[in-house]
Amino acid sequence: MSRRPTLFDMSADGKRCVRFPESDVPHIGADEALGADQVRQTSPALPQVSEAEIARHYAALARMNYDLDFGFYPLGSCTMKYNPKAIQQAAALPGWTGLHPATPASCAQGALQIMWLLEQMLAQIAGLPAVSLQPPAGAAGEFTCLRVFRAYHDSRGDHARTAVIVPDTAHGTNPASVARCGYSSRPLQSGPDGRINLEALQDALDDGTAAVMLTNPNTLGLFETDIVAIAEAVHDAGALLYCDGANMNAMLGYGRPGDMGFDAMHYNLHKTFGTPHGGGGPGSGPIAVTAALEPFLPVPRISREGNRFEWDWDRPQSIGLVHGFYGNFLVAIQAYAYILSLGAEGLREASRAAVLNANYLLQGLADAYELAYPGPCMHECVFSAQELQRETGVRAADLAKRLLDYDIHPPTMYFPLVVKEALMIEPTETESKATLDRFIEVMLTLHEEAHTDPQVLQSAPHKTPVGRLDELQAARKPVLRWQPEQ
Ligand SMILES: *Cc1c(COP(=O)(O)O)cnc(C)c1O
């Protein structure tokens, strides 16, 4: 396949974007301003190109990208959920973008008020009274909560608790956060129905258990039906129960982790509340905790007295700072605008539509594809291509590559790890019935192709700028840098 020319390929001596006339304003030379030893002696080898070449080059690259504004993006678990443009405009207002993070609280009352209000909203949605917006991502929220748990256990002289139980369906960030926190992670095998096996959990719990981390609904898109009994068992053992709330878009306004018995949770504002996840910019992983855990939350907290808002640093039991200033503020603005624009009933509606859409896909595909666990599901459904592979040799990866030829972004694959040849599909709440019907139709076509012409899938994609890559070589001998040809 021929390679697109880079800007360096197009470069020729003397080409320029703009030419300014020689300045007639006297100026200090670089040598004088910086000191001669600070000034480079040779020019950087930058490409010399015209303005049109640059503009066309980047426009062409942008067109090769697949994004939410181009088409359906059913990437389970980490999905780009609804990201309204109006919300992004609200966050782009110059008053927010121009606000220096070190502005004194007295001059940033509006910003503090919005953060305080967002904390109240997230506390209500969680059913947990205290919120910190500081962690800058979901994984950072997990890490922060585990540190809060640790500070809580330590404050009670309970130092022997060093193990955290993590089900085998959990997101990979869960065991990673456990390790970063100095705890050891103990995997828990899920039951035949894809949910926690209560007896296995009871057997695993002991005096050394600091916490149990659960995702609810879990990463198979299934709701943990035994959640109240699970919470009781965890608390009886003296441990704390953590909710990975990255999947909150499945139950906004329907179920509250606090009511289910969770002690703490994190949100992914950059999934559930109006900001894109994955290459879409900064994230935000606020945490919500019980009153018993509140003293340990990161500093500073926002305090309110009447209509005045202040940073409160005077919190002796706090675990300290986990991020500069107060987290990624503009993501918080987007979440605030999103929640206000939908309202309580709108949030419920969003979850209702997310679950309905996922079940619509589940029904539409269940005859052709093998469902990993029986439905109904919550916000996402997981299929396995294992049976298809046995019959036709076509793997989940081949289906994913072939989808690209139909202008559809593939679903999440090979996750969760407990499902062989997994295809994890999350349609989200805003896709129309027509889009879902087209996806089902294309998936059924692929199923047919697998039986009649498996090679077309195994060598896909055929219509993308780059064809099937050698994934082994890409991992073993990655080419990460362009080098000039000598
Ligand atoms: C996305 C996700 C995370 C991690 O969030 P990041 O912001 O990517 O760190 C954790 N758990 C689940 C279930 C997720 O889907």
Q: Give the tens place of pLDDT for each residue, 93-131.
A: 999 999 998 999 999 999 999 999 999 999 999 999 999
What mean pLDDT do residues 188-212 have? 96
How many structural domains comprise the chain? 3
Same domain, 317 and 195: yes
Residue 181 Cβ inside 6 Å of ligand 1? The answer reads no
Judge if 403 and 336 occupy the same domain.
no
Same-domain pairing of 204 and 291: yes
Closest atom of ligand 1 to CA, residue 77: 15
Q: Which is the closest atom of ligand 1 to the Cα of 170?
A: 13
Residue nearest to atom 15 of ligand 1 (CA): 77
237 shares a domain with 326: yes
Task: Name the closest-CA residue to atom 2, ligand 1.
Answer: 246
- The verdict on pTM exceeding 0.85 is yes
Rounded to the nearest angstrom, the distance between the alpha carbon of 459 and the centre of ligand 1 is 32
Residue 308 Cα to ligand 1 midpoint, Å, equals 34
Q: Is residue 480 part of a domain?
A: no
Q: Is the CB of 328 under 6 A from ligand 1?
A: no
Look at ligand 1, atom 6, and give the residue with the nearest C-alpha: 138
Is residue 481 predicted with pLDDT exceeding 90?
A: no
pLDDT of residue 2: 62
Looking at ligand 1, which residue's alpha carbon is closest to its atom 8?
138
- pLDDT of amino acid 359: 97
Q: How many Å lie between the centroid of ligand 1 and the Cα of residue 248?
A: 11
Mean pLDDT lowest among 243-257, 293-307, 323-337, 366-380: 323-337
Are 157 and 302 members of one domain? yes
pLDDT at 1 over 50: no
- Our answer on whether the CB atom of 170 is closer than 6 Å to any ligand 1 atom is no
User: If you take atom 3 of ligand 1, which residue's CA is the nearest one?
Assistant: 138
| Choice among 216-220, 290-294, 349-353 with the minimum mean pLDDT | 216-220
31 and 57 inside one domain: yes
Residue 140 alpha carbon to ligand 1 centre in Å = 9
Q: Which of 145, 173, 180 maximizes ligand 1 atoms within 8 Å of its Cβ, making it the mutation to test the pocket?
A: 173
Residue 3 — pLDDT band, cuts 50, 70, 90? confident
Among the three residues 319, 341, 363, which one is the final residue of a domain in this structure? 341
User: 59 and 99 share a domain?
Assistant: no
Per residue, what are the HEC states of the chain? CCCCCCHHHHCCCCCCCCCCCCCCCCCCCHHHHHCHHHCCCCCCCCCCCCHHHHHHHHHHHHHHCCCCCCCCCCECCCCCCCCCHHHHHHHCCHHHHCCCCCCCHHHCHHHHHHHHHHHHHHHHHHCCCEEECCCCCHHHHHHHHHHHHHHHHHHCCCCCCCEEEEECCCCCHHHHHHHHCCCEEEEECCCCCCCCCHHHHHHHCCCCEEEEEEECCCCCCCCCCCHHHHHHHHHHCCCEEEEEHHHHHHCCCCCCHHHHCCCEEECCHHHHCCCCCCCCCCCCCCEEECCCCHHHCCCCEEEEECCEEEEECCCCCCCCCCCCCCCCHHHHHHHHHHHHHHHHHHHHHHHHHHHHHHHHHHHHHCCCCEECCCCCCCCCEEEECHHHHHHHCCCHHHHHHHHHHCCCCCCEECCCCCCCCEEEECCCCCCCHHHHHHHHHHHHHHHHHHHHCHHHHHCCCCCCCCCCCCHHHHHHCCCCCCCCCC
CA 129 to ligand 1 centroid distance, Å: 22
pLDDT in tens, 408-440: 999 999 988 899 999 999 999 999 999 999 999
- Whether residue 152 is contained in a domain is answered as yes
How far is ligand 1, taken at its centre, from the CA of residue 295, in Å? 25
Mean pLDDT for the chain overall: 93
Amino acid 482: pLDDT:
79
- The range of the structural domain enclosing residue 456 comes to 344-475
Residue 109 domain-assigned? Answer: yes
